[in-house]
């Protein structure tokens, strides 16, 4: 017991150190020490302090170094750094871009009435307007065979253009390539630091240094506007597939000023996403991370970090106690074996659903590990032993004692009553989906129907355990440590169900667990601890522990 407590204390201690270290790092990112002596030689003054007349010019080019020509697509002549705006323009696509090529944007901020290519006081950045991604397979009606891809693509195109254009995304395609194809990024977000911040040469942050362009003005060193392109705002949902018939596509140019602290934070987050992509993360994997930061203020991001950190801690402690509980489990007295089997089945179904939807690895890997753990629990619950004979497995099921048989009778009775409600609802939902919804294949329909049944009615399979508790008038057999950690995470999920984008079925699943949890708490209060009852390890407290023979 001392070793277990020490290990848990160690984990909590490491967690506290991690949170404090992260807070210190975050403080170092958002805080920059200013120059205290404006007339000193170490100060770098802002060019914007002189209120110069500026212009924003944006060009497209086939190469990032602008070799081979460039085309002006937009210019903002009376450009005010502190004025937010959004423009929608149509961009003509070169033939090379239409043939699965790339296209870049060159963003210049320069002095008004000056050519940006020859202005010594200009700053510019390069942004990629296209990216490569495997197109999403079309969805069809499995009964009529009607393809919905055309309507979806045309609807998306109409939304972006606000009116139908001569080109458009691929329409009426019945087959989708397995190879990555060029997709159009329909949004370009540009930021400039609006603060007139005085940098100190000795404390110049490394992350800002690469965006800093300076020139000598007499004895002063002046830095040009800090220009930044927000790559985190490029989401997968905004991508439009390009093909040879796409002559032009709309581009939303969004501009807003940004604080220095937010700029530094954005640079670090953007670098982190880029590093993940270098390690093999796809555009869709990175999009899951981008969704955390887009349209979110820094205070909410800080709250998200702390809550997510506690969620991770409770997840680990619940995992540790759950594994320890089932590892020492000797008897299934008071435990619903049907509920264990259902959890295994539902976890595997959710994993297959996430796999079919090509979900991010950040979600897929934990779901796969959870599925394997649930399979191991089923093996322990049903006392299954596997023997290999001639390369073929043989399964041997253990026998139940009298107390376990009594629990099994209650469990079977609860499932009998539950099946009268559950099976018609699941079958009815699957038939409705088959008639009115569209899927990629029959397998996709099957997995979606099963996972919808798990999300919508899965909490009903927690009821047999409540029924067993009611019949035995005891809750001592439950893994309460792991249960409480999971309960804390359930309430955390409730908070973020309102503010994090997720499927509606998953959002409802967060709240349905609360009802069952409250009933469990009521049963724990209703059935106080009796030391003569069997606990979660298959023994009672009044039994004397057997000492080891020497």
Structure confidence by residue, pLDDT tens digits, 57-101? 999 999 888 887 889 999 998 899 999 999 999 999 998 988 888
Alpha helix stretches (DSSP H) within 116-217:
149-161, 206-209
Q: What percent of the chain has pLDDT over 90?
A: 18
- What's the pLDDT band for 160 if we cut at 50, 70, 90? very low
Which of 129-138, 461-470, 527-536 has maximum average pLDDT? 129-138
DSSP code string of 67-110: TT--EEEEEEEEE-TT--EEEEEEEEPPHHHHTT---EEEEEEE
Distance CA 405, CA 383 (A): 14
Mean pLDDT (whole number) for 331-351: 78
- What does 407-470 look like in DSSP terms, one character per residue? HHHHHHHHHHHHHHHHHHHHHHHHHHHHHH--BSSHHHHHHHHHHHHHHHHGGGGGHHHHHHHH
pLDDT at 548 over 60: no
Residue 507 pLDDT level (bands cut at 50, 70, 90)? low
> Rounded to 5 degrees, what angle do the CA atoms 316, 358, 99 make?
140
- Judged against a pLDDT cut of 50, whether residue 19 lies above it is answered with yes
pLDDT band at residue 540 using 50, 70 and 90 as cut-offs? very low
Q: Which of 42-46, 282-286, 436-440 has the lowest mean pLDDT?
A: 282-286
Instruction: Answer with the residue of higher pLDDT: 336 or 92.
Output: 92
pLDDT score of 381 more than 70: yes
Lowest mean pLDDT among 254-268, 273-287, 530-544: 530-544
Instruction: Say what the pLDDT of residue 111 is.
Output: 92
What's the pLDDT score for residue 537?
42
The pLDDT, as a whole number, for residue 75 is 92
Is the model's pLDDT at 191 over the cut of 90? yes
| Threshold 0.75, pTM exceeds | no
Tracing tokens 């043989």 back to the chain, one arrives at 394
- Return the pLDDT at 162: 44
Looking at residue 125, what is its pLDDT?
Answer: 94
Residue ranges per structural domain of the chain: 35-136+180-295, 304-530
The Cα–Cα gap between 193 and 227 comes to 7
Q: Sorting pLDDT into bands at 50, 70 and 90, what band is 159?
A: very low
More confident residue, 201 or 160: 201
Average pLDDT over residues 384-390: 75
- What percentage of the chain has pLDDT greater than the value 70? 74
Q: Say whether pLDDT at 170 is over 50.
A: no
Secondary structure of residue 133 in the 3-state scheme? strand
Task: Say if residue 447 is exposed, middle or buried (CB neighbours under 10 Å; 0-12, 13-18, 19+).
Answer: buried
pLDDT attached to residue 106: 95
Is it the case that residue 7 has pLDDT exceeding 90?
no
Q: Specify the range with the lowest mean pLDDT, choosing from 267-281, 344-358, 491-505.
A: 491-505
Range in 73-87, 233-247, 429-443, 474-488 with the lowest mean pLDDT: 474-488
The DSSP result for 471-489, as a single string, is HHT--TTS-HHHHHHHHHH
Question: Residue 168 pLDDT more than 60?
Answer: no
Q: What is the pLDDT of residue 137?
A: 67
Whether the per-residue pLDDT at 390 is higher than 90: the answer is no
Q: pLDDT at position 105, please? A: 94
The neighbour count for residue 33, using CB atoms within 10 Å, is 11
At residue 296, the pLDDT reads: 60
What average pLDDT does this structure show over 426-432?
81
Q: Region 486-506: what's the mean pLDDT?
A: 62
**pLDDT higher than 90, residue 193:** yes
pLDDT tops 80 at residue 436: no
What average pLDDT does this structure show over 460-478? 71
Tokens 């409600």 found at: 421
Highest mean pLDDT among 127-131, 170-174, 238-242, 506-510: 127-131
Check residues 361 and 198 and name the one with the higher pLDDT.
198
Average pLDDT, whole number, for the chain? 76
Does pLDDT of 189 surpass 50? yes
The confidence score (pLDDT) of residue 198 equals 92
> Which carries the bigger pLDDT value, residue 488 or residue 425?
425
Q: Which of 337, 339, 348, 397 is nearest to 372 (CA)?
A: 348
pLDDT of residue 470: 76
Answer yes or no: is pLDDT of 457 > 80: no
| Mean per-residue pLDDT, 177-184 | 79
Q: Which tokens belong to 349?
A: 């179904």
Q: Above 50 in pLDDT, residue 169? A: no
Alpha-carbon distance values, 461 to 291, 341, 431, 465 (Å)? 33, 10, 22, 8
513 — pLDDT class (breaks 50, 70, 90): low
How far lies 220's CA from each of 199, 270, 454, in Å? 12, 32, 67
pLDDT number for residue 469 = 76
172: left (phi over 0), alpha (psi -120 to 50) or beta: left
Integer-rounded Cα radius of gyration of the chain: 30
């Amino acid at each position: 017991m001392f070793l277990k407590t020490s290990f848990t204390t160690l984990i909590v201690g490491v967690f506290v150190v991690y949170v404090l270290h992260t807070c210190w790092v975050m403080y170092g990112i958002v805080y920059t020490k200013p120059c205290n002596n404006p007339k000193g030689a170490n100060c770098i003054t802002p060019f914007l302090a002189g209120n110069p007349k500026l212009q924003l010019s944006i060009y497209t080019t086939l190469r990032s170094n602008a070799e081979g020509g460039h085309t002006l697509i937009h210019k903002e002549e009376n450009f005010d750094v502190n004025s937010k705006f959004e423009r929608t323009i149509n961009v003509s696509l070169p033939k090379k871009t239409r043939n699965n090529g790339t296209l870049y944007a060159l963003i210049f901020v320069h002095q008004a009435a000056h050519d940006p290519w020859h202005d010594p006081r200009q700053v510019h950045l390069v942004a990629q307007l296209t990216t490569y991604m495997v197109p999403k397979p079309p969805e069809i009606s499995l009964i009529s065979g009607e393809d919905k891809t055309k309507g979806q693509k045309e609807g998306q195109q109409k939304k972006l253009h606000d009116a139908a254009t001569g080109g458009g995304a691929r329409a009426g395609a019945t087959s989708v390539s397995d190879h990555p194809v060029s997709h159009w990024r329909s949004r370009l977000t540009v930021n400039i630091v609006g603060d007139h911040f005085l940098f100190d040469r000795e404390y110049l942050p490394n992350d800002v240094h690469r965006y800093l362009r300076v020139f000598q003005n007499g004895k002063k060193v002046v830095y040009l506007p800090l220009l930044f392109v927000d790559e985190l705002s490029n989401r997968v949902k905004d991508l439009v597939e390009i093909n040879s018939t796409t002559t032009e596509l709309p581009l939303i140019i969004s501009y807003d000023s940004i604080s220095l602290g937010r700029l530094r934070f954005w640079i670090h987050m953007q670098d982190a996403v880029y590093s993940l992509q270098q390690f093999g993360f796809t555009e869709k994997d990175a999009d899951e991370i981008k969704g955390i930061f887009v349209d979110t203020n820094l205070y909410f991001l800080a709250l998200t970090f702390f809550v997510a950190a506690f969620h991770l801690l409770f997840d680990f402690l619940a995992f540790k106690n759950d594994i320890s509980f089932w590892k020492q489990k000797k008897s299934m007295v008071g435990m619903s074996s049907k509920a264990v089997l259902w959890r295994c089945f539902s976890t595997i179904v959710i994993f297959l659903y996430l796999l079919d939807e090509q979900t991010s690895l950040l979600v897929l890997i934990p779901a796969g590990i959870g599925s394997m753990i649930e399979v191991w629990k089923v093996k322990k619950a049903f006392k299954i032993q596997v023997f290999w004979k001639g390369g073929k497995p043989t399964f041997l099921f253990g026998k139940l004692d009298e107390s376990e048989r009594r629990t099994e009778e209650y469990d079977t009775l609860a499932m009998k009553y539950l099946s009268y409600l559950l099976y018609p609802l699941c079958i009815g939902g699957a038939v409705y989906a088959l008639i009115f919804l569209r899927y990629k294949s029959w397998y996709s329909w099957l997995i979606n129907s099963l996972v919808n049944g798990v999300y919508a009615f899965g909490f009903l399979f927690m009821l047999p355990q409540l029924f067993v508790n009611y019949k035995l008038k005891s809750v001592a057999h439950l893994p309460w440590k792991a249960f409480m950690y999971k309960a804390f995470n359930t309430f955390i999920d409730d908070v973020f169900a309102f503010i994090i984008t997720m499927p509606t079925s998953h959002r409802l699943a967060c709240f349905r667990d609360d009802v069952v949890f409250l009933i469990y708490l009521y049963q724990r209060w209703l059935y106080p601890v009796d030391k003569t009852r069997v606990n979660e390890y298959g023994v009672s407290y009044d039994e004397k522990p057997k000492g080891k023979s020497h």
